[in-house]
Each structure stands twice: as C-alpha cells, then as structure tokens.
Chains A and B, each alone.
Chain A
C-alpha cells in the first residue's frame, strides 16, 4: 500500500505549473504543453506517446486547475483513451501527442464539446457507443465560462469506436482532478485576501465567522482529493469499481469546488463580484466544470444505483 504520487509524477505537475505561470494563455501554449508531454500521457509509446496512465495526469491537472488554464487536457486524455487500439490510432495519436492535432470530445448526454472549432476530429457518444468523424458542423455556444470555448456540435455517426463507460468515467475523474486545483486555488487566494483586508481594525481573516467558512471549504477539497486519486488509479487498473469510483470523485470534487467558490466570493465581498478582480476566472471554471461530465447530483445518483442495485457487501478498491 502506497497511496501517493511518485516524485516523478509530482515533478511533472510542477513542470506544468511553471509553464502555465511563465507562458500566457494563447495558441502557443498548447504546443509548449505538448513539448512537456501533457497530451501524450495516455498515448501508447508505439504512437509517439508516453504510454502512461490516468494517475500521471493528476498533478498536471490539479496545477492546470490552480492556473484556471483553458487548455483541453482532459479532452486529449479522453480522446487518447478512445482511439488507442483502433484503426484511427496510427493516423491521429502521434499528432495528438505532438500537439499538432486537436481532437474534440462531446460530453456524454449533451451536444457540447470544448474547443471544437480547432478540432480535426470529433468523438461523440450515442447510446453508450463512441463514434469518430472529421465531418461535423458546429455552432458556438456562449458559456458563463468563456475559457470553455464551448460549441454545440452536430455529427453523423462516423467510425464506430469503443462501447462502455470508460471514456465518460475518464472525463469525469480527470475533470474532478482539475476541480481540486480550482477549489484549492480559490481557498488560497481568499486566505491571502482575508489576511490583508482590514475592517474594524483587524484583518477580516482573524474573525471566526470568516475562518470557519474557509476551514470548511478546505475540509471539502482535501477529502475530495484522495477520492479523485483513487478514481484515476481504478481507471488505470480497469478495476471493477472504476465507474463508481469515477462518479464518487466527480460528485465530491464538484461539490468541493462549488463550496470553495461560494466561500471565496463571500469573503472577497464586492471586489470579488467584479471583472476587475481575477477571482471570477476561477468562479467560472468551478461553475461550468462542476456541471460538465455530469454534475454532483448525476454522479451521486449513479453511485446510488451501483451500490443499491448490487447484492452483498459493497466491493471497495483497495
């Protein structure tokens, strides 16, 4: 039993964090992330990838969340997972790994895909099966979170890929990893603000009414983290509990991020309610991504179905 990331995995996250801090958002940054190997993690080595697994993505995703980075790291991983071992792998995976091609993925049960305007290939889910096509129509969809780059897509079936819940589970679990970073960053920003903002002659962070809200937000995020890490491990190991673990991770991380967003805005007060302060970028990420790939209610219902629909003692991983 060793429930922690390796030094190498943590260093990978730190390298991503350093890049996201040094390079401003824009078209060039995805290529730089590709140089670090971010879209290549789930691509097999034979196709120019790292042959890694979901656990390798936990630290980079949490750092991306901390930076409110809009890049489609989750979507690249879902696409790599879907294309591995298919006839399309040799054509698309090397370019995905190199950051040359972008592959869009619809979030199950919706016509929504992020950054689809830049995509050469679209993967869509219908009735539990996934299809790939290069011929798709799209319409921009304004989102409360402009960083999403959201579109509504319309596609014929295309080439049939895998069936089963793995891709949706991956999208949920990895989005959950990103949300940990979003939540923790909002807490840290708010702690800094509450330590500086003085009212009634004292930093507002010295008041228990403020302290206790931040403490509760921290408890929510810190308890979501091991659930998210376990979900990545279960996906990587194709554990029988992978779907339930992914849903638990997304439910807890979505709730935690929304909780942190609520507290962050309340403690910032009016300045947090403006476009002049940066907080809104993380608020928007929390609001949109808490709902993307299934919101907390959806995933709790799924956990309930999987727990109550089974017989005997619930099986756990580990």
Chain B
C-alpha cells in the first residue's frame, strides 16, 4: 500500500492550482442561458489553451496524456477553486471514451479537437418518451438512405440540447429487432434539416435539457459510431463511464464537504447537525478512497464492470445528504437562492435519477454483483 503522490504528481497539482488561481473567472451565469452558455464555452477554450480541458487525452487531440491519478488531482483542484461547471461534460466525459474505444481515426480527428476547445457542445440522446429506465425500448429509428441514414423519432431529457451543437444516442436500424439488438449509435448535428429542439425548464428554471424531434434527418455514414447494430455495446461503454470514474470525480464532493465544514465552524450547530456534518465529510472522503482503490485495480489491469453501480448510488446519495445538511444548518436562509447551497441542492436532487436511476443500479448490483436471480421482465415491445 502506497498512499504517496509522486513528485511529478505534486508538481502537476501545484501547476493546476496556480493556473486556476490566476485564471478562474469566478461565478458565471448558468450555462443553460444563452449568455452563460457562451461564457462557459469561452472558459473551456481558455482551459484548452493551457492544455487543461482534457488532461488525460493524447497530445494530438488536445490533452497532455495525463494519468488517471493526475486527472483526479486536476479534478480536486478544479472543484477546490470553485471553477465553472463544465459545459462540455457530455462530450469530454461520456462520448469521448466511446470515441476512443470505437471511433475511426477520421471520427476522432473530426470530433475530439472542437470538443476539447468547447467549440462543439454535445447533448445526450438516450431517453425517449417510452424509453427511460428501460433504455432498450428505444423507438427512434434510422433507415438506410443514399450514402447514409435517415433518422426519425423523438428524444427527451437531452442535457445541453437547448443550446448545444451535436447529439449522441441510439436509433433502431433493424426495424424487425427488439430490445438490445438492432440498435446503432449515431452522432447527430442538431442544426441538420428536420431537427426541432424544444427546451424544457428544469427545477432551477433554466432549460438544461430538451426534447429533440427528428423528422427524416439525413446523416452520412461517418456519423455512425461503432458498427451498425452494435449500438447497445457502444452505449454501455458510455453509460459505464458515467456511473464509474469519469463523470463524478471525488473532487466535487470533497470541495462541497470542505465548504460544509466551513459553514459548520461559523454556524456552530447542535450535536445532531455536527454529526451529520462529520458523516457527510467522511462519506466524501470515503468516495475519494474508493476511487483510488478503483484506480489501482484499473492500473493492475482488472476490469471494472457492474461494480460501477455501487459507485453511482454512493456518490449520488452522499451528495444529497451533504446538501440537505447544509440547508438544515442554514435554517430559514435555506430557501433563499444565492445562499451558496440551493443550486447545489437542486443539482444533487438529479443525481439519483440520471445516469440510470438508483433503483436500476440496485437491480444491477443485486443481479450482477451479488448474483441474485433475475427478475422476470414483462412487456417486451
């Protein structure tokens, strides 16, 4: 057991800390407003100039080939500095791992650099009106056309689609297929003819996600990621990233837990709240340690499979408890926007829902980690 950071890792931490101290623009308007969206993209461009927007990527695509440990260090420093939320998150954390695994050289060259610079913002196209937790019930379809595909259907709860540029998601390419078979992973330009986007206001009042209607939208073959009919496999690599390491790094929760300790030092709450503060801080710390454990396993060549569901339940619920504790400490000020915690609370409330609800994660843990009998599933198509 070696819990030391190397001199190179410490130097990297210092570089990131210094750069953020000098360059952090401070609070920006919500990324889900027209003004805030552009300001967040400008910030991504500055991060990219410093080669800090996608540190783990190879240099040719805008990164610096950093290790996962360095990425975790970057994240710790990023959240510690209170730097802006990542408007490019869907692309850099969810799509990019799939592009690296399944994309062609041309696709990587086309899509990764503008993603790293924040020029092209990606939206998620998973859910449909009839396919939420039951993602395999996708009905949007793609029909073979001349030199490409014609897409029709409806996606919903598409994060960043309101102002974003591209969407990734699953479409049924085999009309006779059902469930996980016959699906293909597409990359869809949101400015294509036949695409209609209708923003949906979230609990914070801003259109952080949208409905996307596709009416006979043409995309070329170069917009298929992975093989035709292989969509489910490619999608699972993306959602695995989301639940696992890359979407919610410990840095976010560590920074919030440290802020909570600061709040408690000022507020001098009673015993029960003090214990809840300790609990929240310990849980954020435990999530960090769990992540280092995962990292060691990855570096030893062990695969990370359904265990990532354990992760998702833990971080989403700790985040919620942490923010609830802060609001309880604020008492009557808890309802006031701008108290430093309400936005985080609203965001934390979404955690147990997106990326596969926690109920779905519990099924995955029970069936695939613990080996309990599968539940008979009804209602095929």
Contact = CB atoms under 8 A, between A and B. Distances in A.
Interface of A: 1-6, 55, 187, 191, 194-195, 202-203, 205-208, 210-212, 214-216, 218-219, 222-227, 229-230, 233, 237, 248, 251-252, 297, 300-301, 303-304, 307-308, 313-314, 316-318
Nearest to A317: B3
Chain B interface, >50% SS class: helix
B1 A2 contact: yes
A59 to B, nearest CB: 12
B282 A1 contact: no
A229 to B, nearest CB: 7
B176 interface: no
Nearest to A313: B258
Contacts of A297: 275
26 contacts: A1-B5, A1-B9, A3-B292, A3-B296, A5-B1, A195-B372, A203-B373, A205-B366, A206-B373, A207-B375, A210-B372, A212-B359, A212-B363, A215-B369, A215-B370, A218-B310, A223-B286, A223-B314, A225-B293, A226-B290, A227-B282, A251-B282, A301-B271, A301-B274, A314-B261, A318-B3
A226 B250 CA distance: 14
A85 to B, nearest CB: 24
Interface of B: 1-6, 9, 69, 254, 258, 261, 264-265, 271, 274-275, 277-279, 281-283, 285-290, 292-293, 295-297, 299-300, 310, 313-314, 359, 361-363, 365-367, 369-376
A18 B286 CA distance: 30
B277 A308 contact: yes
B280 to A, nearest CB: 10
A207 B362 CA distance: 12
A1 B295 contact: yes
B290 A206 contact: no
Given A1-B292, A208-B375, A212-B359, A55 B314 contact: no
Given A212-B359, A297-B275, A318-B3, 18 more contacts: A1-B296, A3-B296, A4-B293, A194-B372, A208-B359, A208-B362, A208-B363, A211-B362, A211-B363, A214-B370, A215-B313, A215-B370, A218-B365, A218-B369, A219-B314, A222-B290, A226-B293, A248-B285
A2 B285 contact: no
A226 B289 contact: yes
Contacts of A206: 372-376
Nearest to B260: A307
Contacts of B363: 208, 211-212, 215
Contact of A211 (B265, B282, B286, B367): B367
Contacts of B3: 1, 3, 230, 233, 237, 317-318
A33 to B, nearest CB: 23
Contact of B286 (A1, A55, A202, A226): A226
B229 to A, nearest CB: 30
Chain A interface, >50% SS class: helix
Contacts of B361: 215
B278 A318 contact: no
Contacts of A212: 359, 362-363, 366
Nearest to B76: A316
Nearest to B264: A308
Residue with the greatest number of chain A CB neighbours at <10 A, chosen from B258, B285, B295, B299: B285
Contacts of B362: 208, 211-212, 215-216
A224 B266 CA distance: 29
Given A4-B293, A223-B286, A303-B282, A218 B370 contact: yes
Contacts of B282: 227, 248, 251-252, 300, 303
Contacts of A6: 1
B173 to A, nearest CB: 32
Contacts, number: 160
A13 B297 CA distance: 19
B289 A227 contact: yes
B275 A191 contact: no
A1 B275 contact: no
Contact of A307 (B278, B283, B366, B373): B278
A129 to B, nearest CB: 27
A187 to B, nearest CB: 7
Given A4-B297, A208-B375, A215-B313, A307 B359 contact: no
A218 B365 CA distance: 8
B372 to A, nearest CB: 4
Contacts of B296: 1-4
Nearest to A58: B1
A307 B313 CA distance: 26
A226 B265 contact: no
A215 B294 CA distance: 19
A191 B373 CA distance: 10
Contacts of A307: 261, 277-278, 281
Contacts of B4: 1, 318
Residue with the greatest number of chain B CB neighbours at <10 A, chosen from A191, A227, A307, A318: A307
B373 A205 contact: yes
A207 B376 CA distance: 9
Contacts of B288: 316
A318 B5 contact: yes
A259 to B, nearest CB: 13
Nearest to A56: B1
A245 to B, nearest CB: 9
A238 to B, nearest CB: 13
A308 B286 contact: no
A224 B279 CA distance: 12
A161 B184 CA distance: 70
